[in-house]
Structure 1
Amino acid sequence: MVKVEFLGPIGKADMELEVSSLKELKEVLKKDQELSSWLEDCAVAVNDTIVNSLEVALRSGDRVSLLPPVCGG
């Protein structure tokens, strides 16, 4: 199982999903109306490392974090 965290103002409880890649995870999350609007704007980290490709393979025990853009100074 892969743990998915939704940080900041997303306001969604963590999930545990059986997925093998970020591409597959995105397809699952797109089905949730609340989350679909965040997907294009969020940075994604796998095990605390920012990634830029959906081709990243995921293994059981991995943690994926969705990081929304923030304002601040």
Structure 2
Amino acid sequence: MVKVEFLGPINKEPIEVDIKSLNELSTILKNDEALSKWLENCAVAVNDTMVISKDISLEDGDRVSLLPPVCGG
């Protein structure tokens, strides 16, 4: 299982999913209306390392974090 965290203003509890890639996760999250609006703007980290591509393989125990843009001073 892969743990998925939703940080900042997304305000959703973490979930655990049985997936093998970020592409699979993207497909799952697009079906959630509340999350779909965040997906295009979020940065993504896998095990605390920022990633750019969805072609990242995931393994059991990995952690994916969705980081929405925020502003502050």
TM-score by length of 1: 0.98
Q: In structure 2, how many angstroms separate the alpha carbons of the residues matched to 1:30 and 1:19?
A: 15
Report the alpha carbon displacement of residue 58 of structure 1 after superposing the two structures with TM. Answer: 0.3
Q: In structure 1, give the amino acid aligned to 2:33.
A: Q
For residue 12 of structure 1, what is the aligned residue in structure 2? 12
Once residues 49 and 65 of structure 2 are traced to their aligned partners in structure 1, the CA distance between those partners, rounded to angstroms, is 9
| Unaligned ranges ≥5, structure 2 | none
**5+ unaligned residues in a row in structure 1: which ranges?**
none
Structure 1 Cα separation of the partners of residues 16 and 22 of structure 2: 14
Could you say what the CA RMSD is over the residues aligned between the two structures, in angstroms? 0.4
SS of equivalent residue, structure 1 residue 28: helix
Between the aligned partners of 2:70 and 2:36, the Cα distance in structure 1 is 18
1:70 is aligned to: 70
Aligned length, in residue pairs: 73
Q: Give me the whole-angstrom Cα distance separating, in 2, the residues matched to 1:27 and 1:41.
A: 16
Identity, in percent, stands at: 66
Superposed structure 1 runs of 4+ greater than 4 Å apart = none
In structure 2, C-alpha distance between the alignment counterparts of 1:2 and 1:31, rounded to whole Å: 18
> Which residue is equivalent to 2:53?
53
In structure 2, what residue type is equivalent to 1:72? G
Aligned partners of 2:6, 2:46: CA distance in 1, in Å? 12
